[in-house]
Structure 1
Amino acid sequence: METQKIWNNFSDELYFFILKKVKDKNAANDIFQNTFLKIHKNLSKLKKEEKIKAWIFQIARNEIVNHFNKGSVYLEQLNTNKETPLQKYQDICCFDKFINDLPKIYREVIELVYINGHKQRDVAGILGISLENVKARIRRAKDILKKNFNECCKYEFDKNGNLTGEPNCSICKT
């Protein structure tokens, strides 16, 4: 199969697959272009033409992973401000109270990841649980924290999930 034929048959589906994963048009365009470059370069290595779709989508998945890995390295290098994630939220009303009130299994992953700055994979090793379990605990802890901030302090969340607004609770006013 030729690159042009692959383009004709799969380009739209592949582009929207990438866009759905990265949710950024510029990044999707870059990943899409890199994917087709790799497809073109490695087309001779494809042994079974009937597996073409799986092959090109695997290349795209690998490019998406590369994109996110590069992004995290870039962000880490850019962050020269040594402010810990905890310091960022210190001024938010009830923050410490809500963190401390979390059930232990949720509090420890939040503290290790967001306060101590460990990677989720490392936290899984520290706690002796799976990475999926760490992610699930973080998700549940965030749900609890969002509920508490919304109910107690009347904070709202913007489209990116960040807290916005001013505290409006009896606990903060005392």
Structure 2
Amino acid sequence: METIKIWNKFNDQLYFFILKKVKSKDAANDIFQNTFLKIHKNLSQLEKEEKAKAWVFQIARNEMNNYFKDKSMYVEKLHSTKDIPLQKYQHICCFDKFINDLPIIYRQAIELIYIKGLKQKDVAKELGISLENVKARVKRAKDILKKNFKECCKYEFNKNGKLIGESNCSICKT
């Protein structure tokens, strides 16, 4: 397979995939360019033409990871202790109750990642499960927490999925 054939087949789809993830045209252009440079340079590694799309998109994901990794080097550390995230949410109605009421497999993941500040891959090692399993547990835990906050406390969620509004909870008022 030739680079021009990959370009013709995937360039629009790949560009918009990158743009959607990085949300910056300048960054998307840089990542897109780097992706195609790597595709051209490593084309000999593509063994089967039917796997081209997965291969191309994996290169793009790797380039996006590099971009975010490089970008994070310039972000100033806000807090030096790992216990700060818990304090950040203490004022939210029923926070502790909802965390404690999660099924143990979800609570472990949430506590290790968001309260102790571990990375997901480290949590996977500590719990002896796959990274994909950790991600699934975190997503399910977040879904449960969102549902609980919405039903009990009448909080709402903004377009970014963050809690907004004031507590209107019968549990907290008693």
Residue identity (%): 67
* Pairwise CA distance, 1:122: 0.9
Q: TM-score, normalised by structure 2?
A: 0.79
In structure 2, what is the equivalent of residue 166 of structure 1? 166
Q: Does the C-alpha gap of structure 1 residues 48 and 147 become closer, same or farther in structure 2, counting only changes over 3 Å?
A: closer
Q: What 5-or-longer segments of structure 1 have no aligned partner? A: none
- Distance in 2 between residues matched to 1:48 and 1:134, nearest whole Å: 31
Q: What 5-or-longer segments of structure 2 have no aligned partner? A: none
Q: Does the C-alpha gap of structure 1 residues 108 and 56 become closer, same or farther in structure 2, counting only changes over 3 Å?
A: closer
Q: Which moved more, 1:103-112 or 1:28-37?
A: 28-37
Q: Does the C-alpha gap of structure 1 residues 30 and 152 become closer, same or farther in structure 2, counting only changes over 3 Å?
A: same
Q: Which moved more, 1:97-106 or 1:58-67?
A: 58-67
The letter of the residue matching 2:157 is F
* Pairwise CA distance, 1:5: 6.9
In structure 1, what is the equivalent of residue 153 of structure 2? 153
* Pairwise CA distance, 1:7: 4.7
In structure 1, what is the equivalent of residue 85 of structure 2? 85
In structure 2, what is the equivalent of residue 114 of structure 1? 114
The letter of the residue matching 1:15 is Y
* Pairwise CA distance, 1:3: 6.3
The letter of the residue matching 2:100 is N
Q: Does the C-alpha gap of structure 1 residues 107 and 56 become closer, same or farther in structure 2, counting only changes over 3 Å?
A: closer
* Pairwise CA distance, 1:11: 2.6
SS at match of 1:171: helix
Q: Does the C-alpha gap of structure 1 residues 48 and 150 become closer, same or farther in structure 2, counting only changes over 3 Å?
A: closer
Q: Does the C-alpha gap of structure 1 residues 7 and 94 become closer, same or farther in structure 2, counting only changes over 3 Å?
A: same
